[in-house]
Amino acid sequence: MDRDQPIGVFDSGVGGLSILRALRRALPREDFVYFSDAGHAPYGEKAEQFVSDRSLAIAVDLLEQHRIKALVVACNTATAAAVHLLRTRHTHLPVVGVEPALKPAAALTKTGHVAVLATRGTLSSAKFQLLRQSLSDQASFVTIPCDGLAAAIEGDDQDLIRRLCARYTREVCCFGTGPGEIDTLVLGCTHYPFAADIFSELLGPDIQLVETGEPVARQTRRMLEAQGLLNAGGRGEVRWQTTGSADALKAAAARWLSI
């Protein structure tokens, strides 16, 4: 692999743009290809076999069409379903997955109580359950499956986004900084950071919001450095590919990434 080849990033839709935003900040000289599988979104409410099949197909497409040097699976559901398969199939390719930021949340919480909002597919996965169990001695976690929220963010339906955010934070209950209250909220889907302002407005400044973009960007940089693949001379370009509406993807990139 050559260091001037692009990094592939994929998600079921526009949620992975939150990961791409962090990657571009951490790796400003790298070029990227962003693949939005919007024609099959959202993954969080699909069967695990469907998600793993789509993930494998997208990886092949990015390798064949764009000669990517690394792959970032910018979707919690796809990571849970397929990151192990991608690493097995493509042993030469650095593959970085995402997972709900339970570890950083456990380190941040002062009360020892954390809420996790994520898709049903992520929360029901074996990978998530193992992660949660591994941290059970550090914090307690309340998990809420947020059906429809990723799709509402995908469609930029602000009224629906606000209603769903309010609904799911009410289901958590007991946010606060006192004993037994939840003081930390994990945004466990890559779409949800684009509703962070709404969550902050609903919950107030004392509740900490945790997302996964920066840890993923740091891990990607570490992997590229370890294999001598960092690009010091790139122009930071992004190419776009989607199974959905190209205009919708460009509009989302303009709205959230100022591209």
pTM: 0.87
Question: Which position among 75, 165, 173, 174 bears the catalytic label?
Answer: 75
Which of 171, 188, 210 terminates a domain? The answer is 210
Q: Which residues of 216-225 are buried (b: 16+ CB within 10 A; e: fewer)?
A: bbebbbebbe
Query: pLDDT-based confidence at 59, cuts 50/70/90?
Result: very high
Same structural domain, 84 and 107: no
**Overall number of domains in the chain:** 2
Task: Tell me the one-letter amino acid at 5.
Answer: Q
Q: With beta carbons less than 8 A apart as the criterion, state whether 57 and 243 touch.
A: no
Helix axes 17-26, 213-226, angle to 10 degrees: 50
Please state, in angstroms and as integers, the Cα–Cα distance from residue 42 to each residue in 15, 244, 255, following that order.
10, 12, 20
109 and 83 assigned to the same domain = no
What local confidence, expressed as pLDDT, does residue 178 receive?
A: 96
The percent of residues above 70 in pLDDT, for the chain, comes to: 100
Residues 200 and 125 in one domain: yes
The H or E element that residue 92 is part of is: none
Same domain as 106, residue 92: no
User: Is the domain of 36 the same as that of 83?
Assistant: yes
Average pLDDT, the chain: 94
- Tell me: do 131 and 154 sit in the same domain: yes
Provide the CATH number for the domain around residue 93.
3.40.50.1860
For 68-101, how does the pLDDT look when each residue is reduced to its tens digit (9 = 90+)? 999 999 998 899 899 999 999 999 999 999 988 9
Indicate if 75 belongs to the active site.
Answer: yes
Q: Quick check: is 179 in a domain?
A: yes
Domain enclosing residue 163, as ranges = 102-210
Q: What confidence tier does 127 reach under pLDDT thresholds 50, 70, 90?
A: confident
Residue 39 has a pLDDT of: 93
Alpha-carbon distance of 30 to 7, in angstroms, equals: 7
pLDDT band at 234 (very low <50, low <70, confident <90, very high): confident
| In a domain? residue 2 | no
Predicted pLDDT of residue 231 = 93
pLDDT at position 208 over 90? yes
